[in-house]
Structure 1
């Protein structure tokens, strides 16, 4: 890189940093104003967003409080929710968190971020869902779905690639489908983390004497595919690449419910999803998303009312065709089109049963560290250069914000 180009880049970064600092000062003042809000909720930015259900407005009507008194904080992923809760642990700002799943729950419990709550609405939710998310009820299930490989039939299908109807994880590599595959980074994305656990459950881990289905080593699948798969920093980034069809990346890690989106909204059945078929069974990792009461929440009573309402039929009727997952409430409505185009978890072998909660809790961080280590060289990534720059700048902003406060 020439010297002039380097100077231009440095000047650009300096300007960007100044803008971020100014924004941080505005944010500090904004947060002080928000302390008078009646209820503060943290969730991910795509919750009930497409085509869209105004759950804040609906709860305001239900509870007879002003919509302006509800402070909704949207973050890019559930991982970021846990990070923010951890930073605010000694002085919580949130009352409710939405989006902690059956893997991230281990970090929230380890750091004592949530308070157990036995909602009266749990009578309408399967005891299996409750137990598989968190039997101690620090988070309560509001939706669920399996991690799956989502594909565009216009670019790949059972005619061009008949193997996808009965493929194994190993077969993805053997048939060069890894060259068409986009996977979210499991250290940044809950969807990517679900797929990582899918590979661990199938292959096993000899380092902890966990046999899985095949009694091999999950690391080998990633080593053998890392030069060909594309790693994206989030589900949204992965979908953007998948949708644009860049480099014919026609398969992405998503959900078994993803094909229902185009089928329900646009009567388009050209998207599909498939799973892996080891040992003669159709296998998948189940993700259960939960809502939780923040430990030492500033407005605990209203937070409990919101959680009860969020699990009620009024809200749950809107889960399937706005959040594109199965609703946890057994009485919630799910359309025929949704059911026909999605993969129902009841019809597949759920891999979660192979890995105990104790095993996940003890090894999750080590698995993510191992993944980062083995993928650190020759990684085929997208969208990361700008992310690394922004992370560095945001780190500086955090330091400055502390000084400002």
Structure 2
């Protein structure tokens, strides 16, 4: 080796230990600079690979989704966290105050969609979403577990898939309003409900700002138009000036349960007795108006759909599959206090206190969702005129 070095450099030009040391420091400084510039991922790049950031699935839904159980954080993890771990992705959930606020957001973003999945669509919302072109059809792998009646009522074209359902009902505080005060209370009719003394103690949600309020308005419209064959406006003209109107369900129920309230009846859900029994809360009487001995109610069906032009379409479809699968469906009864859409999920025992949907005639089965969606703007305008005293 020494002869080779001599022949190349001459004895006076052998590479010294000092020169090799300086070159080593230069290399070390260069590597340090690269590491600072590219960050931790740079070390992975230098080792011959590249680690990309996980995909993010964006979900639009209402603020109370899975928030009414024993441990909302644990439920969130069971629904969204488990999906993240299973697919190696991130889930970003954007909450809206009410389900009715979601559709306007989708429409405003339809030329550049931000959401991948939407959770909380009613049949009327689905019909409007289809007309606006903000959803794409998808038939999930577990659709066979969902009763065909629910699928058909929400959307037979599969632009949305049912994940839960339940009935609207009236909660009554029996301490103030009972059979002694009002004989026949458990069998009241829609007509009685629109007049004093019942109307003066009733709280309803604004149909222009609340999905619950909208469905209650639709129940009065369909009942009067298709069952009684009378003008639905007569109900609201009679109730105007007596009923208390709130922006949404939360505000309505807060007034109903406040100590100094004069309102002792509120539009709510037929599963409320099950909720109260489970948490050992005050048990209110829950009723649905009757006509000729039969209960006529509004069946609320909520669906999940894939946004048209979703940034992560394949992942969105996988999430819909997951959402109507048994793992998520099992979370519905004790966290949403609704009935799971999947027919294979066993109901908790406390649901024996709820009004069984099988015992109620569903008013929304009398009018196609597309017809409701088409007429709703005019109905809302009429309602506002009535409540303002201008009709």
Give the shorter-chain TM-score range.
Answer: 0.7 to 0.9
Would you say the 8 A contact 2:56–2:89 is kept in 1?
Answer: no
Residue 387 of structure 1: aligned partner: none
Residue 252 of structure 2: aligned partner: 238
Distance 2:179 2:316 in 1: 48
- Deviations 1:314-366 (CA, angstroms, capped at 9, x unpaired): 1111101100111101111211212x211111111111122233431331111
Is the deviation greater in 329-338 or in 182-191?
Answer: 329-338
Residue 156 of structure 1: CA displacement? 2.2
Distance 2:325 2:128 in 1: 27
Would you say the 8 A contact 1:226–1:378 is kept in 2?
Answer: no
Residue 48 of structure 1: aligned partner: 66
- Deviations 1:369-392 (CA, angstroms, capped at 9, x unpaired): 11112112499xxxxxxxxxxxxx
Is the deviation greater in 58-67 or in 162-171?
Answer: 58-67
Identify if the C-alpha distance between structure 1 residues 75 and 358 changes in structure 2 by more than 3 Å, giving closer, same or farther: closer
Residue 394 of structure 1: aligned partner: none
Tell me which of 146, 154, 164 is aligned to 2:167: 146
Residue 240 of structure 1: CA displacement? 1.2
Residue 199 of structure 1: aligned partner: 220
* Paired residues for 1:130-279 under 5 Å: 130-204=151-225, 212-266=226-280, 268=281, 270-279=283-292
Residue 297 of structure 2: aligned partner: 284
Identify if the C-alpha distance between structure 1 residues 302 and 247 changes in structure 2 by more than 3 Å, giving closer, same or farther: same
* Paired residues for 1:6-405 under 5 Å: 38-51=56-69, 52=72, 54-58=74-78, 59-64=80-85, 69-204=90-225, 212-266=226-280, 268=281, 270-338=283-351, 340-377=352-389
| Superposition RMSD in Å | 2.1
What secondary structure, in the 3-state scheme, does the structure 2 residue paired with 1:70 have? Answer: strand
Residue 124 of structure 1: CA displacement? 0.7
Residue 160 of structure 1: CA displacement? 3.0
Instruction: Decide which structure has the larger Cα Rg and report it.
Output: 2
Would you say the 8 A contact 1:95–1:298 is kept in 2?
Answer: yes
Distance 1:350 1:67 in 2: 42
Residue 246 of structure 1: CA displacement? 4.4
Would you say the 8 A contact 1:259–1:269 is kept in 2?
Answer: no
Identify if the C-alpha distance between structure 1 residues 250 and 363 changes in structure 2 by more than 3 Å, giving closer, same or farther: same
Residue 25 of structure 1: aligned partner: none
Distance 1:112 1:240 in 2: 37
TM-score (norm 1): 0.79
TM-score (norm 2): 0.81
- Deviations 1:212-256 (CA, angstroms, capped at 9, x unpaired): 111111101101111000000011111111111543211111111
- Deviations 1:142-176 (CA, angstroms, capped at 9, x unpaired): 00011111122233233332322111011123451
Question: Can you give the 5+ residue segments of structure 2 that lack an aligned partner in the other structure?
Answer: 1-52
Residue 273 of structure 1: CA displacement? 1.2
